[in-house]
Amino acid sequence: MSVFLTARRVKSTPPANLLNREAFDQALTDIEAIGDPVARDKAARALQAALTEAIAEPLTRTKAVRQMGVLQLRRNHTLAEIAAMYDLSIGRVDQLAKGE
C-alpha cells in the first residue's frame, strides 16, 4: 500500500526510495486506483511534488560536479579544446563553467 493511496494519507512523507522505478510504479498504480477524481488528483500532485523534491538535490550536485570538471580543465585548456573533449558547443562549455 502506497502512502498516496488515500486522500487522508496524501500529505504523508513519500517513500525514501521513490526514485526506485518499482517504488514509483507502485505509487503511480496506487494513485490510478483511487476512485475519487479529486483525491486522485491530490495524490498525483503529491507524487509530483515528492519527485521534484527528491531529484532537486541530486541535480544540484551533478551540476556542481560538471562545473568543477570544466573549471579544472580551464586551467590548461581553451573553451574550444574542452568543447571538443566533451563533444559540446563552446557556448555550452562556457555555460557549464559559469554554473548554468
pTM above 0.85, yes or no: no
Sign of CA dihedral 72, 73, 75, 78: negative
- Confirm if 27 and 47 have CB atoms less than 8 A apart: yes
- Rounded Cα–Cα distance for residues 17 and 94 (Å): 35
Give the model confidence (pLDDT) of 1-26 as tens digits: 344 444 444 444 455 565 678 888 88
Query: What is the average pLDDT value for the chain, to the nearest integer?
Result: 83
Cβ atoms within 10 Å, residue 32: 10
CA nearest to 20, candidates 2, 46, 39: 2
pLDDT at 15 (0 to 100) = 53
- Rounded Cα–Cα distance for residues 92 and 9 (Å): 43
